[in-house]
Structures are given as C-alpha cells and as structure tokens.
Amino acid sequence: MAAAPAAAEPEPAPVAPAPAPAPTPAPAPAPAAAAAPAPAPAPAPAPAAAPAPAPAPAPATAQSGAAAPQMAAGALLSPLVRRLIEEHQLDPATISGTGVGGRITREDVLAVVDSHAGTPAAAPAAAAPAPAQAPAPAQAPAAVAAPATAQAAPVSASAPAAAPKSSVIPMVPGTGERVEQLNKIRRITGQAMLASKASAPHAITIVQVDYEGVERVRHAHRAQFKADEGYSLTYLPFISRAVVDALHEFPHMNASMGDGAVILHDAVHLSVAVDLGYEGLIAPVVRDAHDKRLRAIAGDIHDLAGRARNRQLGPDDISGGTFTLSNSGSYGTLIVVPIINQPQVAILSTDGVARQPVVAVDAFGVESIAIHSVGNLTLSWDHRAFDGAYAAAFMARVKEIIETRDWAAEI
C-alpha cells in the first residue's frame, strides 16, 4: 500500500510547471501578512523535483535496448537457445558453440548458466546503490524520499529473473514428507523440456510394426553375436538402422530449427537417450550413423550407454545430434510420447514388443492368423518443419524397412 501513494504523488508533477511562475521571488513578498502560510503550500510544488529522478530508469531502458542488437547480430540461434539466452541475460558472443557448424546448443547455454550460478545474487546487490545516488542532488530531502522508493521498485522487479536459476523451493515438509532438491541433470533436462514444449508445436504419429523378421534373425544369431561382441543383440540397433536409411529419403526429418528457417543436415548423427538409474537421462550421439551397418551401430550404442552410466562421456559425445531415439521398450510400454530434443525437429520412441495375433500373408497372397512379435513406434515432431503427411510417409518407410529387409545379411 505504501507504494501506491508513492506512485500517486508524481501525478501533480505535470501540473507543477503551470504554477511554477507564481512562486517567483518577486510575487513572494506581496502577501506580507501571510508570509508564514505561504511557505506551507510551497513544499507542495516541491515534488516538481520528482521528474529529475525520472531519467534514472533510462539506463535500464538503454541496457534492455542494447540486448536486442546483440541477439540480432549473433549467429543463427534456435528459438529454444534464443529464449534461454534472453531469460538468463547472456551475450551469445561470449558462448562457445559445440553444435553442428559451431552453432550454440541448449547444453552450451545451460553450461554457462550453471557456471555462473553464484554470481546473480551479487549483481542485484551492486545495482541497488545506483538508484540511491540519483536522488542525492535533489533539494528537498523529504520530497525525494518518496521517488527514491518508487525507483527502487524497478530495480527489485528485475531481481526475480534470478529465480529460475534456483533448484530449491522453500517449503516445510509435513509428517511423512521430505523435500528433495533436483540434481543438476534433472534441473537442466527440466529446463530444456519446458522450453521445448513452449517453443515447438508438438504433433505425434504412431505406427504398429511387425518385428517377426527381426525376431527370427535375433533368435538365430543371438548366441553367436553375444560370444563375438560380449553383449546381447536387442531390437534397438535394427530400429536405428532403419531410421538412418529413412532419414536419407526424408531430409527434413534430419534437420534443426533456426530463426524462421530449417537447417537440413547431410550427415546423420543419431542421439540415443540413456537412462541414468532413474536419476536423469542423457542422449549421447552415434556419429556418422549413415556410414555404419547394423553391427557397428549396435557397438556404438552399447559403448555410449555404458560410458553414460559410468559418467565417462565427454562434451563431444553429447553434442551435435541431428535426430533422437528414445527407448522404453524394455519396460513393455505401449505408447510413449517423447518431447523433442531442441533444436532437432523430431524424436522417435520405441515401445515394448509382444507376441500378438496378426493377419499374415504368404508369398501366394493367402491370408492366415499367426502369432508375431509386434510393437509400436511413436514419432514426436515439430509442426513448423513439415506437415502430417510427411511425418506419416517417413514412419511408413521406417516400418517397411524393419519388416522387409534381409537382416541376416547385416549380422
């Protein structure tokens, strides 16, 4: 309520310039008998000095105006990266990009934010004294006190900008409850997923895939493959291989969103989401997946997943992905709708594979009921990059490759 009067007092200020000629030194001696009462009204026009502090907010306006040119002059940024930079008031020129072609990625911005997590508190404290000095030249201390409070409000209003950097919500747990702080990975992931949902219009496309051909190859080569490689052959490498081939036929899937533009990537760098013991997830990248066959892709996925769980990944292992796979199939899921890994335009989720009755067609076109291994694939995609027909055609092609390829030739 105290702030309301402070804001109301400056209103007479615009009227003050009209009476200003009246209190000139010459008319003042005229009412000799009323000399004592005359000074009483005099302080009322004194708030005319209030406009003097008004220019104080100008530096803040100048700063905010300067931020826009910095963003405009920077390299091509995705909407997600631009939003994070603006939220945390960073200069893109000071951020080293690790993405394709040196582009700034979400991880680059969040790394800078995390490294400066301790500095924001000092910045507002240092900024606060600046407005306190502005009222000093005022002539009437009593009249300046109110504007000083009014000016302090805009400074404190910028303070909440530091709030998103905190991972702790003050609260008092009740009986049988406890407060658990978010770890670094979950905090960064949460910020990225929230920004992705806010900036990209998500749409989904789902297809059902008959894995019977894949299952027969896995069953026939399972023992020998494990003896040769030291790990089991799962469905994921088959799906990955099919996706990589389909991406070449649908280049707008293997792309990133920029400022009003889509960046198409010739190379396929496949990000594969890895769960870190329910404490978060990370998506290391299979480099140049377009040059690799089934066994090589399986080896890369196994290696990256192991190093991810042992916290042995480097910056190059998690940057530069062009398309992402999320695998929840081992838990027997039916449909999982993932969130796009910005600035990519799509992410594919693999779900559980189960034995189900299907209509099988033999080489002569004769239909019969058979029990096959069946599962769903779900694609989340950015509607800014393409439309539903394109997404459906891509998924149909992935399904076709999985169901009809001679996989035994690649083992």
287 inside domain: yes
% of the chain with per-residue pLDDT over 70? 68
Structural contact between residues 335 and 376, judged by C-beta atoms closer than 8 angstroms? yes
Closest CA to 197 of 398, 340, 48: 340
Structural contact between residues 130 and 154, judged by C-beta atoms closer than 8 angstroms? no
Residue 227 has pLDDT above 90, yes or no: yes
What would the pLDDT profile of 153-162 be if each residue is shown by its tens digit?
A: 444 444 455 5
356 inside domain: yes
Closest CA to 80 of 340, 390, 387, 377: 340
CA distance linking residue 376 with residue 208, whole number of Å: 4
373 inside domain: yes
Q: What is the pLDDT of residue 112?
A: 86
109 inside domain: no
89-105: average pLDDT = 85
86 inside domain: no
Q: What is the pLDDT of residue 154?
A: 44
Q: What is the pLDDT of residue 222?
A: 95
66 inside domain: no
Domain count across the chain: 1
Residue 45 has pLDDT above 90, yes or no: no
CATH at 256: 3.30.559.10
Tokens of 153: 């409000």
Residue 26 has pLDDT above 70, yes or no: no
Q: What is the pLDDT of residue 328?
A: 93
376 inside domain: yes
Amino acid at 399: K
Structural contact between residues 313 and 287, judged by C-beta atoms closer than 8 angstroms? no
What would the pLDDT profile of 72-82 be if each residue is shown by its tens digit?
A: 444 578 878 88
Going 304 to 306 to 309 to 311, the CA torsion angle's sign is negative
329 by DSSP, 3-state: which?
Answer: helix
Range of the domain at 293: 201-410
User: Residue 262, class by beta-carbon neighbours within 10 Å (0-12 exposed, 13-18 middle, 19+ buried)?
Assistant: middle
Mean pLDDT across the chain: 78
User: Could you give the residue numbers annotated as active site?
Assistant: 383, 387
105 inside domain: no
Helix (H) or strand (E) holding 87: helix 79-87
